[in-house]
Every structure is written in C-alpha cells, then in structure tokens.
C-alpha cells in the first residue's frame, strides 16, 4: 500500500513537472525529491518507533507541498518541501542512534547465545567473524556519534548538511555491520549445536572409567555415583544446547573418573589376588586328597588326574604372575591373571569332584562284583 502511494507521488511529481514546464514555470523537483527520499530514510532509521511525531510532520508537509504544487503555488510548494525534508532529517537524527543500539543488542544477544552453545570452540570461524563484525560496527558507531555531535559546528548550511548526512551514512554502515554480525553468530550457533551428539559420544572414555571404578568398588564407592551424576548433568546441559556450561566440567570429571579407577582398582586387584591364592590353595588340597593307589588303578583315572594337575599348575602360574604384576602396579593385568587362576582352580575342583564320583562308582561296582564272585564260589553243585 505504502509502495503504491510512493509510486503515485512520484508520478504526480513528474506530471506536475511537465505541467509547469509547459507553462514556463519551474517546479521545485529537487526539493520535493529530497523531501521524499529523506522521509524514506527516516523510516529506515526507525523513525516510526523513535520519532513518530517528526516523521508524521514531515509526511504532512510533503503532502502539503504536493497540494500547493497542484494549486500552482510554487513558493509554498518549495517551502513545504524544504520543511518536510528538515523534519525528516530531524527524525533520522533522533532515530539512528536508537535503532543502531537495537541492532547492536541483537548482535550481542546472538553472540552470547552462540557462545552458550560453545561456538567459540566448535564453530570458531563464523563465531570470530561475528565478534569482529560487531567490533567494526562499534567503531563506525563511535565515528557516527562524533560526526553527528560536530556537524552543528560547521560553518554554512551546506557544510552542516554534508556532515549530518555523513553521520547518517556511518550509522547505516554500523547497523549493517551489526546485522551481519548477528547473522554470522546465528550460523555459528547452528554449526555448534550440530555437534552435540559427537561431543557426548566423546565422553565414552569417562563412562568406561566409571563403569570400571564401580565394578572394582563392587558398587560401594559413593564418589563413583556422584561423579556419574555430574557427567549425566553435563550431558543433559549439552543436549539442551548449553554446550559451554555442560562442557566446562568435563575435564575435571574425566580426571576424577581416572582417579576413581586408580583408587578402586588397587583394592580390587588385592582382593582378587587373595581370592586367587585361596582358590589355588583349596584346589591343591582337593587334588592332594586323592588316594594315588585308586588313581593308578585305572588308566582313565590317571588321565583325568593328570589333566587336573595341569590345570593346577597353570592356576599356580597365573597366581604367581598376578602377584608379580600387582607388585609392579600393573593392577589391571594382575586382576586378569588372578581371575584366570580362580577360573582354573574352579575347573580343577569340578574335575576332582567328577573324578571322585567315578572312583566311588568303580569301588561300588567292584564291591558288588566281588560279593557276587564269593557267592558263586560257595555254591554246591
């Protein structure tokens, strides 16, 4: 609608110009055009918000100028056009600083939002560009303020006008820098947020540490739970887009998770070492309890017993290795060897149990067979 009105006014000015030229009169085209352009610029400067009365007065006087032109009153036409432009310039002067302030606030808000998403690290190129553009906008804003402040001191109306318009140009350039800064900051935020899952996935080593620490502590270390809660909280913040806040504690959490593993693995390694010692001792005692005469009574028994002895030997070797590794503070390897010793000891015990049952069955069978033989020998035929 407003665009249509502007086109109508422009067409009207052209028609009037043609009319007055044909009549030998000179329509103040330049003054009318300057007034129209100044009003357009004032609107762009935010005058509808910050200088509505000045803008409205400028519009009314431009309409008055057109009306006077249609009445062939060139003096009043020019006078109204000049006044319309003057009020439009006043509206721009009043509005530019405030509208530029708004643009800077939007830029800063976007930069802060981007930094909350840790864009300074995850999307440094567009983020740094946004900060630099804001800085350039600040410089132009300072120049514009100085120019606007100094223009009344110029000698002559033309010099003052040039200085005033230069200030407006500088404000517009500053505002554009802020707009570009906001755009770059928004882009950096989007790029940073796109890396949320990748960041969370990078905490896999912390999860493993905490799982190991919890296993070694047998679920009895409250510090493990506390640290896991901290990690979960950091993950939640990152998922919410508060990446910088969520990531800020990760280094400390990672360090703590490693310390918890180191603290609990030593205790667990010692427990496993002692359990391996007990298991091997128990297996040794179990194997030594067999009557060698009974073992030697059957080739199958001898083979089974030999296999059990081999397992006992391997279990003892693993136990000794666990001791040595523990002394060398290689706790994870020590745990592995202790667990192997325990596993082999348990296999040996199962083998011994099965062998004992077989020996018992054979003894029972032999006893029955012997009784039957004796009975047959006592029979009379």
| Structural domain includes residue 376 | no
Inform me whether the pLDDT recorded for 24 exceeds 50: no
Q: How confident is the model at residue 381 (pLDDT cuts 50, 70, 90)?
A: very low
Q: Kindly give, in sequence order, each residue whose CB lies less than 8 Å from that of residue 342, ignoring residues fewer than 6 positions away.
A: 272, 275, 276, 279
- Tokens representing residue 89 in the block: 């310039």
Is the same domain home to 189 and 205?
no
236, part of any domain: yes
Residues 257 and 311 in one domain: no
How high is the pLDDT of residue 6? 47
- Do 11 and 72 have their domain in common? yes
Check residue 4 and give its pLDDT: 45
Q: How many CB atoms lie within 10 A of CB 316?
A: 19
d(CA 28, CA 293): 134
What pLDDT sits at residue 2? 44
User: Do 10 and 138 fall within a single domain?
Assistant: yes
Last residue of a domain, one of 262, 288, 309: 262
Domain extent for 275? 265-370
Residue 364: what pLDDT? Answer: 81
In a domain, 375, yes or no: no
Residue 164 forms part of a structural domain: yes
Share of the chain above pLDDT 70, in %: 90
Stretch 84-90: mean pLDDT: 97
pLDDT band at 25 (very low <50, low <70, confident <90, very high): low
Q: Which of 173, 193, 213 is the last residue of a domain?
A: 193
- Asked if residue 243 and residue 146 are part of one domain, the reply reads no
Q: Please give the Cα distance from 276 to 286 (Å, whole number).
A: 15
Q: Are residues 216 and 183 in the same domain?
A: no
275 and 156 within one domain: no
What pLDDT does 57 receive?
97
281 lies in some domain: yes
167-174: average pLDDT: 98
Asked if residue 206 and residue 154 are part of one domain, the reply reads no
Which is more confidently placed, 141 or 381?
A: 141
Contact 210, 260 (CB under 8 A): yes
Average pLDDT over residues 245-264: 95
pLDDT 10s digits, 270-310? 999 999 999 999 999 999 999 888 888 889 989 999 999 99
pLDDT given for residue 230 in this prediction: 97
DSSP letter string, 58-96? HHHHHHHHHHHHHTT-HHHHHHHHHHHHHHHHHHHHHHH
Do 277 and 335 sit in the same domain of this protein?
Answer: yes
Please count the structural domains in the chain.
3
List pLDDT tens digits, range 38-47.
999 999 999 9
Give the pLDDT confidence score for residue 379 in this predicted structure: 46
Q: How confident is the model at residue 367 (pLDDT cuts 50, 70, 90)?
A: confident
Of 177, 193, 209, which one is at a domain's C-terminal end?
Answer: 193
Q: What is the pLDDT of residues 38-78, one digit of tens each?
A: 999 999 999 999 999 999 999 999 999 999 999 889 999 99
Q: CA 291, 293, 298: angle at the middle one, nearest 5?
A: 110
Out of 199-203, 238-242, 336-340, 370-374, least confident range = 370-374
Dihedral angle sign, alpha carbons of residues 263, 266, 268, 270: negative
Domain membership flag for residue 307: yes
Collect all residues with Cβ–Cβ distance below 8 Å to 131 and sequence separation of at least 6: 111, 181
Residue 220 and residue 117 share a domain: no
- In a shared domain, residues 252 and 332: no
Instruction: Report pLDDT for 153.
Output: 87
Q: Which residues contact 49 (CB under 8 A, 6 or more apart)?
A: 95, 98, 99
Within a domain: 378: no
Is the pLDDT confidence value at 171 over 90?
yes
Task: Give the pLDDT band of residue 267 (cuts 50, 70, 90).
Answer: very high
* Domain match, 87 and 152 both: yes
pLDDT tens per residue, range 92-150: 999 999 999 999 999 999 999 999 999 999 999 999 999 999 999 999 999 999 999 99
What pLDDT does residue 374 have?
52
For 264, what's the count of Cα atoms within 13 Å in the CB-facing half-sphere? 22
Q: What is the mean pLDDT of the chain?
A: 90
Q: Is residue 320 part of a domain?
A: yes
């Amino acid at each position: 609608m407003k665009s249509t009105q502007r086109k109508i006014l422009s067409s009207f000015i052209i028609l009037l110009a043609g009319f007055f030229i044909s009549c030998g009169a000179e329509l103040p085209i330049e003054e009318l055009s300057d007034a129209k352009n100044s009003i357009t610029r004032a609107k762009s400067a935010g005058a509808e918000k910050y200088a509505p009365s000045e803008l409205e007065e400028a519009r009314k006087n431009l309409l008055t100028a057109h009306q006077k032109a249609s009445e062939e009153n060139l003096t009043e036409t020019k006078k109204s056009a000049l006044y319309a432009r003057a009020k439009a310039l006043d509206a721009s002067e009043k509005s530019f600083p405030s509208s530029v302030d708004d643009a800077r606030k939007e830029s800063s808000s976007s930069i802060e939002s981007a930094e909350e998403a840790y864009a300074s690290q995850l999307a440094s190129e567009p983020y740094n560009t946004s900060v630099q553009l804001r800085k350039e906008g600040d410089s132009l804003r300072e120049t514009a303020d100085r120019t606007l402040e100094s223009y009344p001191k110029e000698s002559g109306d033309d010099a003052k006008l040039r200085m005033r318009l230069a200030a407006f140009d500088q404000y517009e350039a500053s505002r554009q820098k802020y707009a570009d800064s906001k755009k770059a900051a928004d882009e950096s935020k989007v790029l940073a947020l796109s890396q949320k899952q990748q960041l969370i996935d990078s905490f896999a080593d912390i999860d493993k540490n905490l799982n190991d620490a919890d296993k070694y502590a047998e679920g009895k270390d409250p510090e493990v739970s506390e640290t896991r809660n901290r990690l979960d909280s950091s993950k939640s913040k990152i998922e919410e887009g508060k990446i910088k806040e969520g990531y800020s504690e990760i280094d400390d959490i990672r360090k703590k998770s490693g310390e918890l593993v180191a603290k609990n693995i030593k205790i667990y390694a010692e427990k496993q070492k002692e359990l391996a010692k007990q298991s091997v001792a128990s297996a040794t005692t179990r194997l030594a309890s067999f009557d060698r005469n009974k073992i030697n009574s059957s080739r199958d028994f001898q083979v089974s017993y030999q296999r059990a002895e081999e397992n006992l030997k391997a279990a003892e070797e693993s136990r000794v290795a666990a001791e040595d590794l523990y002394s060398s503070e290689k706790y994870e390897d020590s745990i592995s060897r202790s667990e192997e010793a325990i596993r082999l000891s348990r296999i040996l015990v199962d083998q011994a149990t099965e062998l004992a049952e077989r020996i018992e069955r054979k003894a029972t069978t032999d006893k029955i067979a012997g009784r039957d033989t004796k009975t047959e020998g006592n029979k009379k035929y």
